[in-house]
Amino acid sequence: MTRPEPNPALPGEQRARLRQQRVWRAMLVPGLAAVAVLYAVRQGLGGSIYDAQGQVHPTFAIVFSVVVALFALIGAIWHHRAIDEQEERAILWGNTAGFYTVIPSAMIVETLTLARLIEPVSHVTMMLGALAVSVATYLWVRFR
């Protein structure tokens, strides 16, 4: 997978549009392919991801885990080959901010929980909080 060179025969603004499409394609194609695979698996399980007991079907859960990991990896590699250095910088700062948000938060929450001063906090909630910080930082660096 090599990064396509811009066609020097095209006007700059058209090349900029093609480049933007390349970035979006790198995110959307793996995402849509993953959704298509998961939809096919769902159809193969009789049109529902739940089993007779109302739980998520183990087959779907396993396929979901593999598909998300695989297509996220493909999308990440493709996306990082499509973006420029300023976009990459924004992503790195966003990830760094998210990392430094979740680590102290986890330590504080864990200690307060062990001391029974607070109720246990969902890991998903903490992850979403860190994700929000990541996204806000990314957007600030990218578009300020």
**Which of 123, 122, 124, 129 is CA-nearest to residue 101?**
129
Q: Is 81 in the site for another protein (CB under 8 A)?
A: no
Stretch of 15-23, 24-32, 36-44, 101-109 contacting another protein, by CB under 8 A: 15-23
Q: Is 48 left (phi over 0), alpha (psi -120 to 50) or beta?
A: beta
Q: Is 85 in the site for another protein (CB under 8 A)?
A: yes
How many residues bind to another protein according to rule CB under 8 A?
22
Residue with tokens 């330590």: 107
Stretch of 18-26, 102-110, 113-121, 124-132 contacting another protein, by CB under 8 A: 18-26
Pair 35, 44: CB distance under 8 Å: no
Q: Is 32 left (phi over 0), alpha (psi -120 to 50) or beta?
A: alpha
Q: Is 6 in the site for another protein (CB under 8 A)?
A: yes
Q: How far apart are the C-alpha atoms of 103 and 94, rounded to whole Å?
A: 15
Task: Pick from 11, 47, 54, 104 the residue near another protein by CB under 8 A.
Answer: 11
Residue 89: both structure tokens together: 């910088």
Task: Pick from 13, 47, 104, 124 the residue near another protein by CB under 8 A.
Answer: 13
SS3 of 121, please? coil
Q: Is 9 in the site for another protein (CB under 8 A)?
A: no
Task: Pick from 51, 89, 95, 112 the residue near another protein by CB under 8 A.
Answer: 89
Pair 71, 31: CB distance under 8 Å: yes
Stretch of 25-33, 65-73, 86-94, 123-131 contacting another protein, by CB under 8 A: 86-94
**What residue ranges bind another protein (CB under 8 A)?**
5-6, 10-20, 23, 84-87, 89, 142-144
